[in-house]
Amino acid sequence: MLPTRRIPTLVSRPRRSFSKPFQRHNSSVAEPPPAGGHLPSIANSKLLRTTRERSLRTQGLSWNDEQAESTTVRETRKMNVYQAVRDALSIALTKDDNAVVFGEDIAFGGVFRCTMGLAEEFGRERVFNTPLTEQGIAGFAIGMALMGHTPIAEIQFADYIFPAFDQLVNEAAKIRYRSGGQYNVGGLTIRTPTMSVGHGGLYHSQSPEGFFMGASGLKVVIPRSPIQVKGLLLSAIRDPNPVIFMEPKILYRSAIEQVPIDDYTLPLGRAETLVEGSDLTLLTWGTPVYHCETALHMLNDPPPALAPHIPESLRKAKIELIDLRSILPWDAAAITESVNCTGRLVIVHEAGMTAGVGAEIAAEVQKRCFLRLSAPVKRITGWDTPVALQYEKFYIPDAVRIVDGLVETLAY
Amino acid sequence: MFRRPFASRGIRRSIHLGTLPNSHSPIVSSLSFFKSVTPDGGIIPTFRVLDGVGRPVEGAQIPEIDEPFARRLYENMQLLPTLDTVLYQVQRQGKTSFHMTSHGEEATIIGSAAALELDDEVLGQYREMGVLLWRGFSVDSVMNQCFGNQEDTSGKGRQMPVHFGSPKHHFHTISSPLATQIPHAAGVGYALRRSDRRSRNIAACFFGEGAASEGDFHAGLLLASTIPSPTLFIARNNGFAISTPSTEQYYGDGIASRGPGYGIDTVRVDGNDVLAVIAAVREARKRTLEQGRAVLVEAMSYRVGHHSTSDDSFAYRQRTEVEDRKRIDNPIARFRLYMESQGWWNATEEEELKARLKADVMKALKRAESLPRCELGELFTDVYAGEEPWNIKEQRAELTGLLKKYGDSWEPWRTELGRFKNKGQDLTSV
């Protein structure tokens, strides 16, 4: 044992005390609270940027046009997630003649409406239905990308990406390496709807991002909101690597923001801190971002039913909420920096625990932050069973499970 | 064995033009391409027995059926849409999460079921509820699966509605991923042939023309033809894979044209003519068993309903197109007219049947919606057989701890627990 080796690097931010409460109040004095309490849902989430001003201040936003850097002339429009996907695809098709969009049922708009009107606008030669073959779709897209084109392919559900696994893991991920850098499929983007909706059962609820973690050469991205979708999807399309872009399907209609109408990108490989805090790092991606937001409210201002389980002393804890966004490669620097500051890490994902993405992050964080950790890294995940239809509410980690994990980790 | 005639012909020609080392392909000196599998280079014909108004077509041989059999066929052809209509509405009312109807494909599904032996192993896609009905899977069992209640014998409420399964009825549990059952069927057929007790049975595999685009289709037909195994493949070509019309699904002559590519006996049949389906599938089954090798049937039909309750097909096809098809080529009406012409059916019986089926379905519906789900602990069972791994044990204990803590006090959880048999106490009271 060499104790000197275990001294952590200096943290860049000071630890903050428990004294500043998490500033958000939803309870109304005038009327009795509803059974579940006044808690945020996706529809009224404060994380969603519903004004032009907040939209244009999106962290890391980079305009991709000739106009001045100033944001004062920029316009925004109200969009949900499927409209933001469509907007990004439309920009990609407009600006890049080599871009094509294809997949099962996409010509009439797609089963989630993400490609509405694109076939009419850009023609069936650039926006087209494919026969029902995921391995074919991925392989075809790889072929186009090998020729320097920009295929943007859709796999109808992430649950159905497995026939394409060979093409993605053995081909897309490895082509640059095996050809000594002479060939690549950087133009390739695979979009696919992911995660649960509450009634999908085994094959419409899965979160298969973890299966791609070992496929170096691929990038995996999961956005949380319309602004993020548009910026990250345009980055994914233009990134010089093949990217699997997983869209949380429950957010297609429910998450609404003011989205800048111009062409912009958001950085891949970078996590985003949504709420700053100094006592615990809460890390997640996709749909559970909103369950985490609810859990923060429960911790700070618990509804009467939960109050007995949430010690007064922990209610002012400052939780740092981070959206990982890029799953592969993931932003180890940002997570390390945060955990070195807070000393506690809770990871939330919908996929099962064993070999989920949380396992990789937990292993790396305990190596990098070992002496700074005040509690074991906690994973709040789906169970190691398939996603069972009638049991789904007790399978998917919800806000109560998250707040319980926060209390356990804070009190450790 | 049955390739010998071709082989000898090939050898005879090669006397002049040489031979290939690994093929009996006759050598020719003229360059000629082909893209048809029919001798005349045309489209594969469709076998039909009854015309659109239930009259035998000229030269057709009516398959042997007696009146009781015909009545049973018709009752099942009516039960299927009766269930579908109710289950569709029930989903629309939010009582179940999903449904897929068989509207327009009643003759294909019931006719195939009737031509198989009751203990032939069936591997379906998801639109084959009619096979189970034919085999005596009760209306209650259908409802219980669709409601995912404690009497869902198909899968303990774990799968979406219409994902039936019943070993007793030799019907393998439905999986949502498309075409995965096709290679399974090849293996099932091989296993049947290897078991003395089951060697008179075949595997019968259903799939749509869309699923036939998946790699698993090619794998399944390749294996069942090459290994070989007694597997009957029944392609339901209903014209649509969700929104994608069959014209965008394949460029060749449907699914049937692929059969000869695997060297297997193949037939295309009018899927809206229940007697033609019975005749074709009976003969196909016979050949499958005799040859011990794959046989392919392509049943041509039209998906009158939407793909599922998650789909509105009028976003991609004309309402009038669907209405026209329903009116002009209704498989149920076609068979009813034939029954009437035989003196086996009349308007009074029609009314009585419809009323009885509706009453049966409504009774099963009322019962199914009143039953709770299985015990919550079933979330963790059946992942493994034998010793349960530590992670499953620990995760069950973790949920149990959470339920003890919040199950009573947190209203959303209390309400949800109330939907399970014993309200979660199978976990919390241990």
Q: Could you tell me if residue B250 is inside a domain?
A: yes
Q: Could you tell me if residue A76 is inside a domain?
A: yes
Q: Could you tell me if residue A177 is inside a domain?
A: yes
Q: Based on the fold, state whether residues B404 and B270 are members of the same structural domain.
A: no
> Tell me, what's the pLDDT at B430?
83
The answer to whether A383 contacts B392, with C-beta atoms less than 8 Å apart, is: yes
Answer yes or no: is pLDDT of A35 > 50.
no
CB contact burial A157-180 (16+ within 10 A = b; e otherwise): bbbbbbbbbebbbebbbebbeeee
Interface contact B176, partner A, CB < 8 A: yes
Q: A 295-354 residues with CB below 8 A of B?
A: 305-306, 308-309, 353-354
Beta strands B295-300 and B231-237, pairing class: parallel
Q: Based on the fold, state whether residues B401 and B255 are members of the same structural domain.
A: no
Interface test with B, best of A385, A390, A408 (most B CBs within 10 A): A390
Confidence of residue A2 (pLDDT cuts 50, 70, 90): very low
Mean residue pLDDT of chain A comes to 92
Q: Based on the fold, state whether residues B237 and B301 are members of the same structural domain.
A: yes
Confidence of residue B398 (pLDDT cuts 50, 70, 90): very high
Q: Based on the fold, state whether residues A230 and A293 are members of the same structural domain.
A: no
| CATH classification of the domain holding A205 | 3.40.50.970
Q: Based on the fold, state whether residues B357 and B385 are members of the same structural domain.
A: no
Q: Based on the fold, state whether residues B335 and B409 are members of the same structural domain.
A: no
Answer yes or no: is pLDDT of A11 > 60.
no
Q: Based on the fold, state whether residues B346 and B393 are members of the same structural domain.
A: no
Last residue of a domain, one of A265, A289, A305: A265
Query: Which tokens go with A275?
Result: 């709420």
Backbone dihedral angles phi then psi of residue B70, each to the nearest 5 degrees: -60, -40
Q: Could you tell me if residue A93 is inside a domain?
A: yes
Last residue of a domain, one of A265, A288, A318: A265
Q: Based on the fold, state whether residues B199 and B297 are members of the same structural domain.
A: yes
Summarised one tens digit per residue, pLDDT across range B229-245 is 999 999 999 999 999 99
Answer yes or no: is pLDDT of A24 > 80.
no
Q: Could you tell me if residue B30 is inside a domain?
A: no
Q: Could you tell me if residue B42 is inside a domain?
A: no
Answer yes or no: is pLDDT of A32 > 60.
no
Count of domains in chain B?
2
Active site residue A134: yes
The answer to whether B160 contacts A200, with C-beta atoms less than 8 Å apart, is: yes
Confidence of residue B327 (pLDDT cuts 50, 70, 90): confident
| Of residues A150, A164, A148, A152, the one with CA closest to residue A118 | A152
Answer yes or no: is pLDDT of A38 > 80.
no
Q: Which of A65-74, A184-193, B60-69, B80-89 has the lowest mean pLDDT?
A: A65-74
Count of domains in chain A?
2
Q: Could you tell me if residue B46 is inside a domain?
A: no
Q: Could you tell me if residue A25 is inside a domain?
A: no
Confidence of residue A67 (pLDDT cuts 50, 70, 90): confident
| CATH classification of the domain holding B195 | 3.40.50.970
Mean pLDDT of B101-122: 98
Q: Based on the fold, state whether residues A405 and A284 are members of the same structural domain.
A: yes
Q: Based on the fold, state whether residues B352 and B384 are members of the same structural domain.
A: no
Q: Could you tell me if residue A43 is inside a domain?
A: no
Q: Could you tell me if residue A127 is inside a domain?
A: yes
Q: Based on the fold, state whether residues A237 and A283 are members of the same structural domain.
A: no
Interface contact B393, partner A, CB < 8 A: no
Q: Could you tell me if residue A30 is inside a domain?
A: no
Q: Based on the fold, state whether residues B308 and B387 are members of the same structural domain.
A: no
Q: Based on the fold, state whether residues A95 and A142 are members of the same structural domain.
A: yes
Q: Based on the fold, state whether residues A176 and A289 are members of the same structural domain.
A: no
Q: Based on the fold, state whether residues A239 and A344 are members of the same structural domain.
A: no
Q: Based on the fold, state whether residues A258 and A292 are members of the same structural domain.
A: no
Q: Based on the fold, state whether residues B308 and B397 are members of the same structural domain.
A: no
Mean pLDDT of B124-150: 98
Q: Could you tell me if residue B341 is inside a domain?
A: yes
Q: Could you tell me if residue B60 is inside a domain?
A: no
Q: Could you tell me if residue B108 is inside a domain?
A: yes
Q: B 41-100 residues with CB below 8 A of A?
A: 97-98
Beta strands A62-63 and A264-265, pairing class: antiparallel
Interface contact A104, partner B, CB < 8 A: yes
Q: Based on the fold, state whether residues A386 and A314 are members of the same structural domain.
A: yes
Last residue of a domain, one of B370, B402, B420: B370
Mean residue pLDDT of chain B comes to 95
Query: Is the link from the previous residue into A260 a cis peptide, with omega within 30 of 0?
Result: no
| CATH classification of the domain holding A304 | 3.40.50.920
| Owning domain of residue B409 | 376-428
CA–chain centroid gap for B352, Å, is: 29
Q: Could you tell me if residue B85 is inside a domain?
A: yes
Q: Based on the fold, state whether residues B145 and B225 are members of the same structural domain.
A: yes
Query: Which tokens go with B24?
Result: 């009996």
Q: Based on the fold, state whether residues B361 and B316 are members of the same structural domain.
A: yes
Q: Could you tell me if residue A374 is inside a domain?
A: yes
Q: How far is A24 from chain B (nearest CA, A)?
A: 22
Last residue of a domain, one of B346, B370, B394: B370
* A112 touches A192 (CB < 8 A): no
**What ipTM was estimated for this complex?**
0.93
Q: B 194-213 residues with CB below 8 A of A?
A: 210-211, 213
> Tell me, what's the pLDDT at B115?
98
Backbone dihedral angles phi then psi of residue B296, each to the nearest 5 degrees: -120, 130
| Predicted structure pTM score | 0.92
Per this entry, what is the length of chain A? 412
The CB-side HSE value for A368 (13 A sphere, CA atoms) comes to 20
| Owning domain of residue A58 | 52-265
Summarised one tens digit per residue, pLDDT across range A210-236 is 999 999 999 999 999 999 999 999 999
Q: How far is A49 from chain B (nearest CA, A)?
A: 28
Q: Based on the fold, state whether residues A173 and A291 are members of the same structural domain.
A: no
Mean pLDDT of A290-294: 98
Q: Based on the fold, state whether residues A127 and A253 are members of the same structural domain.
A: yes
Last residue of a domain, one of A249, A265, A281: A265
